Amino acid sequence: QVHLQESGPGLLKPSQTLSLTCTVSGASITSDDYYWSWIRQPPGKGLEWIGNIYDSGHTDFNPSLKSRVSISVDTSKNQFSLNLTSVIAADTAVYFCARDGGHYCSGATCFNIDAFQIWGHGTRVTVSS
Amino acid sequence: EIVLTQSPGTLSLSPGERATLSCRASESITRTSLAWYQQKPGQAPSLLIYGASNRATGTPDRFSAGGSGTDFTLSISRLEPGDFAVYYCQHYGSAPPMYTFGQGTKLEIK
C-alpha cells in the first residue's frame, strides 16, 4: 500500500523559504508511470496545485507560483521536496503531497489517470511575523 | 487557463435523498481529464471519480458521474451520514501542464 507523509516546519516568518519533504513508502518514486505533486489549501478555502515532478527530475509548476517554487527529488531516500521562496501571509495553508498517474482502458483505448489517487495527510504551515 | 465553476456552493439535503452537483468548465475540456474528490473536515481529499465517470477503487456505486464538453455532474443516490462533506471537481490540461480545481460544493445535512 502506498503512503505519503509530509514533513517540515510549521511556522515561518515573512520572506523566509518554505521547505517541505514528502516521504513515499510502498512505491518507488522513480516509477515512470506516476507524477508527484504538491497541493495546498488555505484555511477555509479550496485546493491549489503548486507543481509536480516526474521522470526523476522533470517539473511543471502553477504559473501563478512558478517564480518562487522549486521541486526536487531524492531517489536514495524515496522523497521529493518543495521549496517556496519569499513566503507571505497568503502562503499560510495546509500543504499536501499527492500522486497521480497510471492508466485505465476503455475498450481498446487507454488513457492517463489525470487525478490524485494517493494523498498525504497534509502539514499545516503558518506564515506570521 | 481553464476555470471550473461548481454549483451550488452549498447543498442542504437529508439522508436518503439524492444529491446532484455541477461542475462547469470555462471552455470545452477532455472528459478523460475530469475528476471528483470528497473532502471531510481535517482530512485530505479522497478521489471518487476519474475520467469523468469512472469510480475510483473503494467508491460506492451510489456515486455516479458524467458529462462532456463544459458540463459535468456528480450524483449521489441515497445519501448516508458519511456523504456530507465538501466535493471538488478537478481538471488536468496539458498545454501548459496545469491542474485546476473548482471552488467546491459543501453538502450539508438539512
How far apart (Å, rounded) are the C-alpha atoms in residues A51 and B99? 9
| For range A111-118, the mean pLDDT | 94
Taking any CB pair shorter than 8 Å as contact, residues of chain B touching chain A are 1, 32-33, 35, 37, 43-47, 49-51, 54, 56, 88, 90, 92, 96-104
| For range A42-66, the mean pLDDT | 95
> For position A115, what pLDDT does the model report?
97
The percentage of chain B sitting over the pLDDT mark of 70, rounded to a whole number, equals 100
Closest CA to B99 of A54, A32, A10, A80: A54
- Which residue in A60, A96, A115 is closest to B90 by CB distance? A115
Q: Residue B16: exposed, middle, or buried by beta-carbon count in 10 A (0-12, 13-18, 19+)?
A: exposed
CB contact under 8 A, B92 and A115: yes
CB of A59 within 8 Å of any CB in chain B? no
A67-93: pLDDT as tens digits: 999 999 999 999 999 999 999 999 999
Residue A77's φ and ψ, nearest 5 degrees, are -105, 0
CB of A120 within 8 Å of any CB in chain B? yes
pLDDT band at A32 (very low <50, low <70, confident <90, very high): confident
CB contact under 8 A, B46 and A46: no
How far apart (Å, rounded) are the C-alpha atoms in residues A106 and A83? 38
CB contact under 8 A, A116 and B102: no
Q: How far from chain centre, in Å, is Cα B47?
A: 9
Q: CA-nearest residue of chain A to B58?
A: A117
